[in-house]
Amino acid sequence: MKACADVKPNERLQHLIDSIRPTDPLAEERAWERLDSLTKPPRSLGRLEEIAAALARIQGTDHPSVDRRAIILMAGDHGVVAEGVSPYPQSVTWQMVANFAAGGAAINQIASSVGADLLLYDLGVVGDTSVLAGVNQAKVVGGTANMRHGPALTRDQAVEALLAGAQAATEAADGGVRLLGTGEMGIGNTTAAAALTAAYTRTPVERVVGPGTGLDHAGVAHKMAVVGDALSRNVTHDSDALDVLAALGGAEIAGLAGVMLGGAARGACVLVDGFISGAAALAAVALCPPCRHYLLASHRSMEPGHTVQLDHLGMMPVLDLDLRLGEGTGAALAMALVDAACRMLSGMATFQEAGVSGSESA
C-alpha cells in the first residue's frame, strides 16, 4: 500500500512536468511586428513593450490579455525559527493568515487596487486555519522540521505540496485567470529561502542571507551560521532538485513552486513576487527548465539574495521600490503594468489604421 501511494504522487508530478510546453517564439515575433506598427515611435514604450511581447509568447497570440488575475498566497511555518532567526514569534504566521482572511493586510488592499482576486492556502501553518473563512486547506505538515538538524520536509511531503500548488494554479487558470501572482507568509521563511538560494545557485551563504523582517547585524551573522549548518547537514553533491526543496522547505515555498509549474502547464503567466517566491522559482525551474518562460519577475527586493536569484534565472524585474514585505505585494503591483502592456499591444491603432504619418527617416 505504502509503495503504491508513494509512486502515484511522484507520477503525477512527472506528468505535470511533462505537460509544460515551450512558449511560442513565432507569436512573440508577430507581437514585435505589431508593436513596431503601432502609433508611437518604435520601442518608445521600453520595458512595457518587452512585457507585452513576453505575454504574446506565453499566450501564443499577438493580442494577449490578462483581464482575469489572481494572487495565490500560501502560508507555512518553519521549524528553524527555534534557532531564533526572526524577530517575530511563530504565532504571527497564523495571526497574519487571519488578517488576510479578514482583509486587513497590505496584500488585501494592493490586490484589490489592481483588480486581482486573493486566493489563500494553508500549506503548513502551525495551528488550525480551517476556522478562518476563505482559507483553502492544503496542509501537508503543521510546521516543517528544523532544517539545522535534518530535512525540513520529507520528499513525499514536498511532492504533496508541489501538487497542491499546481492544483491551486490549474483551478484558477481553468476559471479564466491568465495572470497569476505568487505570495507567501511564514515566519522564518527568509532563512529557508536563503538556504534554497545558496543550494540551487551554488552561492556562498554570505551573499544570500539578509535581514529579513528586521534582524540586526548580529542576527544576520547568526542566521548565516544556521543556514550554513542546514546546508552541511542536508545537501550533498548528489542531491537532486526535489531533495534540495524537501531538505530546506518550506511547505509554502514548495507550494508556490507548484503554482509556477501548474500555471505554466495551463499557459498562464506567473508573476514572481520577491525573495521567498524567487526561491520557489529556483525550485520550479530546477525541476522543469521550460517553466522559466512563463515567469516574470515583478520587483527587486531589498533582500540581498534576491539579486542572486534574478541573475541565476536571467530575469529583470519590472519594479524597484525597495519592497521587502512579501505576501505577493510586489507581484500585485506589477500586475497593473502587465495589464497596461497587454492592452497597449492589443488595443492600440497602427499608423495605417489611424492615418498617422510615420517617421520621415524610416
| Rg of the chain on CA atoms, in Å | 20
134 touches its own copies by CB under 8 A: no
82 touches its own copies by CB under 8 A: no
**Complex with its own copies: residue 174 or 360, whichever CB lies closer:** 360
> How many CA within 13 A on the CB side of residue 160?
17
**Complex with its own copies: residue 91 or 236, whichever CB lies closer:** 91
Please indicate whether residue 327 is annotated as part of the active site: yes
The residue written with cell numbers 495589464 in the block is: 339
DSSP code of residue 349: P
Residue whose C-alpha is closest to residue 52's, from 339, 333, 267: 339
Residue whose C-alpha is closest to residue 273's, from 319, 208, 205: 319
Residue 38, SS3 per DSSP: strand
Q: Of 9, 88, 304, 307, which lies in the binding site for its own copies, with binding defined by CB under 8 A?
A: 88
Which of these ranges, 95-103, 119-127, 134-142, 263-271, lies near its own copies under the rule CB under 8 A?
95-103
Q: Closest separation between CB of residue 114 and its own copies, Å?
A: 6
Q: What is the largest CA-CA distance in the chain?
A: 75
Q: Of 134, 214, 289, 290, which lies in the binding site for its own copies, with binding defined by CB under 8 A?
A: 214
Where in 291-330 is the site for its own copies (CB under 8 A)?
Answer: 302, 318-325, 329
| Bridge partners, residue 120, by sequence | 73, 135
Q: Of 38, 55, 264, 331, which lies in the binding site for its own copies, with binding defined by CB under 8 A?
A: 38
Which of these ranges, 91-99, 141-149, 156-164, 201-209, lies near its own copies under the rule CB under 8 A?
91-99
* Cell reading at 203: 552561492
Angstrom CA distances, 348 to 21, 46, 49, 191, stand at: 29, 16, 12, 45
Considering the candidates 33, 327, 353, 360, report the single residue annotated as catalytic: 327
DSSP string across 104-138: -SHHHHHHHHTT-EEEEEEEE-SS--TTSTTEEE-
Helix 217-234 / helix 241-248 crossing angle, nearest 10 deg: 130
**Complex with its own copies: residue 160 or 327, whichever CB lies closer:** 327
Amino acid identity of 232? S
102 touches its own copies by CB under 8 A: yes
**Cα–Cα distance for residue pair 143/195, rounded to 1 Å:** 17
220 touches its own copies by CB under 8 A: no
**Complex with its own copies: residue 62 or 160, whichever CB lies closer:** 62
113 touches its own copies by CB under 8 A: yes
Which of these ranges, 46-54, 73-81, 243-251, 263-271, lies near its own copies under the rule CB under 8 A?
46-54
Give the residues lining the site for its own copies (CB under 8 A): 38-42, 44-48, 87-89, 91-92, 95-96, 98-99, 102, 104-106, 108-110, 112-114, 213-214, 216, 302, 318-325, 329, 332-333, 336-337, 339-340, 343-344, 347-349, 353-362
Supply the residues annotated as catalytic: 327
